[in-house]
Amino acid sequence: MPGAAAAARSILTQLHEVMAARSNAQAKLNRVVDIIGESLDSEVCSIYLLREGMLELYATRGLEQGAVHVTRLGIGEGLTGTIAANTETLNLDEAATHPEFQYRPETGEEKFHSFAGVPIVRRERAIGVLTVQHVEPRRYEDVELEALQTVAMVLAELIHNAGLVDGEDLGQRSGAQSGQQVLQGLGLVKGLGVGKAVFHQPRVTIEQTVAEDTEAERQRVYLAFDKMREQIDTMTGQAEFGMGGEHEEVIETYKMFAYDEGWSRRINEAIDSGLTAEAAIERVQQRTRQRMREISDPLLADRMHDLEDLSNRLLRIVSGQLGTAASMGLQGDTVLIAKNLGPAELLEYDKRRLKGVVLEEGSLTAHVVIVARAMGVPVIGRLRNLRGLVREGDEVMVDGDSATVTLRPAQGVLDAFETRVGRKKQQLAEYAKLRDVEPFTRDGERIEVMINAGLRDDVAMLAMTGADGIGLYRTEFQFLVSAQLPQRERQTRLYRDVLEAAGDKRVIFRTVDIGGDKSLPYLSSETSKGDENPAMGWRALRLALEREGLLKVQARALLEGAAGRELNVMFPMVSEPWEFDAAKEVFKGQLDFLRKQRKKLPSAIRYGVMLEVPSLAETLDLLLPRVSFISIGTNDLTQFLFAADRANPALAERYDWLSPAILRFLKRVLVNCAGSPVDIGVCGEMGGRRLEALALIGLGIRRLSITPAAVGPIKELVRKIDTREIALAMNGWLASPPPSMRATLQEWAAERGIDVE
Ligand code: PEP
Ligand code: MG
């Protein structure tokens, strides 16, 4: 047997001629089985193609001709069906010993003992199967299988061009890729969405598999390798990757693969066999995928992802198909599929068409997740091997509420989902009616309902929801979505635009809360500072006070942006009152400077703090005389009170916001603030949930800053509450907590017809 490359090349040269000939498709396939059979010295060679969901014997050399277009097998049925179902190769010296073996008398195959078959794959779906059989029982050699696989790749092109198989969208998916599949991930952003799967980095479509000029193809691959290595080296040189830790590990692995001689040699060999550069890269990747499938080692699986990425990168370079899906524009309702995404990359997508994001990685505090939440797009993460399970164009249902992703949902499931989406929309329309209704409780208490924001576009939500203002403007978003530290002018412009758009509604700007888990690539060497517990590390004001330049710039930008208007500024992660003083001093310095410059100043400045570090609650008597307002950040407060990392999914459900510990703590803060003119509110996620909001109002909170989507539901809730009644009940529960505060509150609300779900 000659080498695999030579065997394949001899077949490919002949196939090339067949493909170029003017005969009809059936005649071509008849010729193809002869060529393969002769070249591999095989008594039988058959091609099965997918028609109406069944694998139909389309051409054969060696089996009964009467079986052609008669023998049909379902996906998963018999050896041929198994190959298609699993898109994998079978190599058996005794076919009948395989558990899936099925005998079809019309083929006359009983005399053939050995059997090998490879899937014919297009766009990662089996569209047919190529088999060879021998009378004598023998296993096929690796070189023979290699040649078969290469030929199958070329056949895929021929078959597709001849329109011989079911249309791309028919149910011809194989095995793991067929039918409905429900995946459980980590819920990162709540919400419902359904759309067609679009890969952030689309897979390259290979249009031509057989090379016209092997040397030219070799040159193309050389050039592509050079370019890819250059890209990887540039990445290594960038600050983002130069900081050690996880990034560095990833990039080192990339580098190792990019310079791997074995990889480039295998691609070259595939080119020797007569394939184009694109087909050769894909062929090698197919082979690697298959090898990896046989080794079930999670570490290797991770490396496989890296290699897939790199292989795809190489393919995109060589084919010139470079853009991400964003650059090509979304065609309809879309669920975006990616390993991971940067926040800026997400922002490039058309928000109206983006119905969900599903990631292989991702965590609650990932920047992209923060941005997606602001965009109102549901996100589910931590779905390993996602890109192996879903196909471009698959229908995908994203349920951020239950953290499930349903691939290719059955019609009934889809209908039920659409009903839920419809109900949600209807509910939203109901809430929209409350837009201009002021949220007064039944007993006439006005509850201030504000929104949390961070992106320029968020301001539009003020008008849409009828919220009272922006109770938390997370200024770090601008930093997170920028490739470098935003210049002062850019900051000023943003703050001015936000205030302008907000009109006479109040906006509370929080100075940057970066560092720790929200580290910035361009500040990474400083912000990581080797923190083992980033949430409790060098972040937010702690960082800003040390990096005074950063805070000074932001102070100037805020003061200038608010010229002629009231400026509300709030500092995050204040743990002791002196930190507030120090931050305010920075603002004062900038204010003096502007005054000297005779610049227009804000009409008033109100300074406030986030109360999210428990220690601050112990010094309220010292703090209150200094500040105008306090905003309780229950997200961080909860993690610090319970010593439970808010980003750790294993702890996500463990502690309840409605626990006596939290509620008593909040009550004590409110009692300690009583009588002071300081305005106190809550801006954590807790306030956006109805049951929790009911509890907060019961404690005495009168200002909530919440995610925009929650404004309607909370306004509706407010109008059903009698604050005296809930306060009385709450006092009783705080004094003597029931076994489950949540259940008790739910019961209490239900008795009064208050919907808290
Ligand atoms: C909080 O901690 O509750 C808060 C609102 O701030 P962030 O979620 O941005 O930390
Ligand atoms: Mg916080």
Nearest atom within ligand 1 for CA of residue 476: 9
> Of 619, 651, 646, whose CA–CA distance to 633 is shortest?
646
Per residue in 676-721, pLDDT (tens digit) is 999 999 998 899 999 999 999 999 999 999 988 889 999 999 999 9
Q: Which of 470, 638, 641, 683 to mutate to test the pocket of ligand 1 (most atoms within 8 A of CB)?
A: 683
Domain residue limits, the chain: 4-176, 179-202+325-424, 214-319, 433-526+534-751
From 636, 642, 704, 706, the mutation candidate for ligand 1 (largest count of ligand atoms within 8 A of CB) is: 636
CB-CB contact of 454 with 471 (8 Å): no
pLDDT at 522: 66
Cα(465)–Cα(108) distance, integer angstroms: 73
Q: How far is the CA of 610 from the centre of ligand 2 (A)?
A: 8
Q: What stretch of H or E contains 153?
A: helix 142-161
- Residue among 555, 571, 636 nearest 609 (CA): 571
Question: Which of 365, 476, 612, 682 has most ligand 1 atoms within 8 Å of CB, for mutation?
Answer: 612
**Between the CA of residue 417 and those of 132, 188, 195, what are the distances in Å?**
46, 19, 12
Residues 53-81 pLDDT 10s: 899 999 999 999 999 999 999 999 999 99
684 lines ligand 1 (CB under 6 A): yes
CA of 573 to the centre of ligand 2 (A): 7
**CATH code, residues 433-526+534-751:** 3.20.20.60
User: What pLDDT sits at residue 559?
Assistant: 98
Residues 6+ apart with CB under 8 A from 444: none
Q: Where are the alpha helices (H) located in 390-484, listed in sequence order?
A: 411-432, 460-465, 476-480
- CA pair distance 696, 239, nearest whole angstrom: 44
The tokens for 177 are 């890729």
Distance 508 CA to ligand 1 centre (A): 13
Matching CATH topology for 4-176 and 433-526+534-751? no
What confidence score (pLDDT) does residue 531 get?
63
Q: 179-202+325-424 falls under which CATH superfamily?
A: Phosphohistidine domain (3.50.30.10)
Q: Which ligand is nearest to the CA of 706?
A: 1
Contacts of 311 (CB under 8 A, 6+ apart): 281, 282, 284, 285, 288
**CA–CA gap between residue 183 and residue 473 (Å, rounded):** 35
Distance (angstroms) between ligand 2 centre and the Cα of 539 equals 10
**Residue located nearest, by CA, to atom 6 of ligand 1:** 633
Whether the model pTM is above 0.85 = no
Mean pLDDT per 10-residue segment, the chain (757 residues):
69 84 87 91 93 92 94 93 90 92 89 93 86 90 87 87 62 52 90 93 82 93 92 63 47 78 91 92 86 68 71 89 82 91 77 92 69 85 83 92 92 89 84 92 98 85 93 89 83 95 96 75 58 76 86 97 98 96 97 97 98 97 98 93 77 83 97 96 93 98 93 95 98 97 97 93
Query: Residue 128's pLDDT is what?
Result: 94
The continuous run of DSSP H or E covering 149 comes out as: helix 142-161
How is residue 601 written in tokens?
Answer: 């100043």
Q: What is the DSSP string of 309-344?
A: HHHHHHHHHHH-----HHHH---SSEEEEES---HH
Instruction: Tell me, using a 6 A CB cutoff, whether residue 633 lines ligand 1.
Output: yes
CATH 3.40.50.720 fits 214-319, yes or no: no
- Backbone dihedral angles phi then psi of residue 506, each to the nearest 5 degrees: -75, 140
Residues 6+ positions from 743 with CB-CB distance below 8 Å: none
The pLDDT of residue 171 is 38
Contact 635 CB / ligand 1 (< 6 Å): yes
What is the CATH code for 4-176?
3.30.450.40
Q: Say how many C-beta atoms besides its own lie within 10 A of residue 472's C-beta.
A: 25
Does the beta carbon of 474 lie inside 6 Å of ligand 1? yes
Angstrom distances, CA of residue 92 to CA of 96, 128, 150, 153:
9, 19, 19, 21
> CB count, 10 Å around CB of 2?
12
For helices 741-751 and 723-735, what crossing angle results, to 10°?
Answer: 150
Give the nearest ligand 1 atom to 474 CA. Answer: 9
